[in-house]
Amino acid sequence: MIASHRSAPITASQARRATIFALVAVFLDVVGFGLIIPVLPRLIEEVGHTGLDDAARIGGWLFAVFSLAQFVFAPLAGALSDRLGRRPLLLLAISGLAVDYVVQALAPTVLWLFVGRLIAGVCGSSHVIAGACLADVSSPENRARSFGRMTAAFGLGFVLGPAIGGLLGEFGTRVPFWCAAALAGVNFLFGVFGLPETLARENRRAFRWREANPLGVLSVFGRYTGVLPYALVLTIFFFGTSIYAAIWAFWGMAKYGWPGTTVGLTLAASGITVALMQGLGTGPAVARWGEKRMAVVGLAGAAATCVGFALSPTTFVVVVMLVINAVEGFAHPMLSALMSKAVPEDTQGALQGGISALMNLAMLAGAIFYTQVFGYFLSGAAPIRSPDVPFFIAAALMLLALGLFMRHSRRTIG
């Protein structure tokens, strides 16, 4: 039974500390995810004694394992955080990430890379709890700004993650993982001594298995009016954007002959633009144009830049498209904010868990889909040999998401 007495309200200082820690936790989560991308081909070749073609296929399955683990465990973390509070679950996730980085730093075979990706997926649910934590300390009208800051933390993670992976990878494929392990350890200590609990006891609720399993958690989208169509749009968007994690490094190597450092620096350029756009632009943009208009901007920008990448003749043009692609970052926080407004306060953790489940299910399917399409259109069996075909497919999916969103928006007010 949940305690009936009211807990002391969280102070402004505690709210600031909780916000900082949540954003840092998301940042480190993405750093760990991003740093493996530029070193992944060389790391797989090193421990698997294989060539680039096989490395691409193995890389797709590594990403699929990571996404599957997040799909299974993120809803459980979200539901438990609604019952036990955000603090213990967030600290557990951060400590698990530190263990994951050590495992991957020591991996002697491809099998151990899979073990590391599995641990990363299980513990990567930190962003689910962080999202719920931000919802706890933000008023409904300020949640779009808070989720925009979380997207900015994602962007910053993709600045340092790939940059560390690409640059430090030149000193050895294991070095970036040791750095990430140290960062996660520092963040854990910060949380132990500085992170307050943000979920008041009177807002906690009983643990519900239907919201803790990866399929049952999706029921949260159907219980509240207007949420399900946004969930469908977000799923298609996540499936489309999974192309970057799935094939970006392999696409750059195949089309332009990029080394690992260039892979890392291109992703860093993308992270910088997303971080600046979301950190400085989300609040003013929402205040002036609202969540729905900015979601349209994000989805339309995502479609346009996928076509731009496919048609880019040089690396310089790719960098220009990465700058333009920053507007894509509006889509996720705007849709999350619209969904968050439609559910009660005691369901924010379940909602974030559901959104994470959608993301990881879509990215699981996308990792397998895009790597297979990429491999096929580089093979002699393809009617047209080109590494760009997956980007045209992703652009079509983004346009589908945009059309569905605009259709639903016409039927709703606000």
Residue 5, classed as helix, strand or coil, is: coil
From the CB of residue 336, how many other CB atoms can be counted at a distance below 10 Å?
A: 26
Contacts for 67 with CB less than 8 Å, ≥ 6 apart: 121, 360, 361, 363, 364, 367
Higher pLDDT, 52 or 341: 341
Give the model's confidence band at 126: pLDDT under 50 very low, under 70 low, under 90 confident, else very high: confident
Name the more confident of 217 and 54.
54
Quick check: 171 pLDDT over 90?
no
Sequence-distant (≥ 6) Cβ neighbours of residue 105 within 8 angstroms: 174, 177, 178, 181
- Return the axis-axis angle of helices 260-311 and 143-167, rounded to nearest 10°: 120
Q: How many whole angstroms from its chain centre is CA 217?
A: 18
**What is the C-alpha separation between 38 and 27, in angstroms, rounded?**
18
Do 373 and 393 form a contact (C-beta atoms < 8 A)? yes
8 Å CB contact between 155 and 271: yes
Q: Can you read off the two tokens belonging to residue 163?
A: 């940059």
Q: Is 108 exposed, middle or buried (0-12, 13-18, 19+ CB in 10 A)?
A: exposed
Q: How far is CA 206 from the centre of its chain?
A: 28
Going by pLDDT thresholds of 50, 70 and 90, the confidence category of residue 288 is confident
CB 228 within 8 A of CB 351: no
H or E element that contains 398: helix 389-410
| Range with the poorest average pLDDT among 56-70, 119-133, 289-303, 396-410 | 119-133
Please tell me the predicted confidence (pLDDT) of residue 2: 35
Tens of pLDDT along 301-325?
A: 999 999 999 999 999 999 899 888 8
Where do we find the tokens 């880019």? 312
The model's pLDDT over 59-95, given as tens digits with 9 standing for 90+, comes to 778 878 887 887 777 767 666 767 677 778 788 888 8
Distance of CA 305 to the CA centre of its chain: 19
Would you say residue 53 has pLDDT above 70?
A: no
How high is the pLDDT of residue 122? Answer: 77
- What is the percent of the chain where pLDDT is above 90? 12
Q: Is the pLDDT of residue 3 over 60?
A: no
d(CA 314, CA 27): 30
Residue that wins the pLDDT comparison between 19 and 346: 19
pLDDT beyond 60 at 250: yes
In the predicted model, is pLDDT for residue 199 greater than 80?
no
Query: What pLDDT, on a 0 to 100 scale, did the predictor assign at position 62?
Result: 84
In whole angstroms, give the CA distance from residue 21 to residue 5. 27
Take residue 281 and report the two structure tokens written for it.
Answer: 């632009």
Rounded-to-integer distance, Cα 373 and Cα 388, Å = 10
What pLDDT does residue 414 have? Answer: 47
3-class SS of residue 6: coil
The region, left, alpha or beta by phi > 0 then psi within -120 to 50, assigned to residue 49 is left
Cβ-contact 31, 183 below 8 angstroms: yes
In the prediction, which pLDDT does 333 show?
78
Cβ atoms within 10 Å of 49's Cβ, excluding its own? 10
| Tokens matching residue 318 | 């790719």
Residues in the chain: 414
The three state secondary structure string of 79-102 is HHHHHHCHHHHHHHHHHHHHHHHH
Look at 185-194, 204-213, 327-336, 357-366 and tell me which has the smallest mean pLDDT. 204-213
**What's the CA gap between 232 and 240, in Å, rounded?**
13
The two three-digit tokens of residue 103, written as one number:
């495992």
Of 275, 270, 295, the closest CA to residue 285 belongs to 295
- The pLDDT, as a whole number, for residue 212 is 59
pTM of the complete model = 0.69
**Stretch among 83-97, 226-240, 249-263 having the lowest mean pLDDT:** 83-97
Mean pLDDT for all residues in the chain: 79
Tell me what the mean pLDDT of segment 155-183 comes to. 79
- Residue 4's pLDDT is 35
pLDDT at 240 over 90: yes
Highest mean pLDDT range out of 103-117, 123-137, 285-299, 355-369? 103-117
Confidence of residue 1 (pLDDT cuts 50, 70, 90): very low
Handedness of CA 317, 252, 274, 147 (dihedral sign): positive
| pLDDT for res 218 | 67
Residue ranges and CATH numbers for the domains of the chain are 12-193+224-409 (1.20.1250.20)
The reported pLDDT for the residue numbered 279 is: 65
Using the predicted structure, report yes or no on whether residue 215 has a pLDDT greater than 80. no
Pick from 266, 260, 325, 335: which is nearest to 295 by CA? Answer: 335
DSSP state of 49: T
Tell me what the mean pLDDT of segment 43-69 comes to: 78
Decide if pLDDT at 136 tops 80.
no
- Which pair of tokens denotes residue 76? 């459980």
With cut-offs at 50, 70 and 90, classify the pLDDT of residue 6: very low
Which residue type occupies 347?
T
Q: What is the pLDDT of residues 88-120, one digit of tens each?
A: 878 888 888 888 888 888 888 889 889 888 887
pLDDT of amino acid 308: 95
Angle 27-30-32 (CA atoms, 0-180°, nearest 5)? Answer: 110
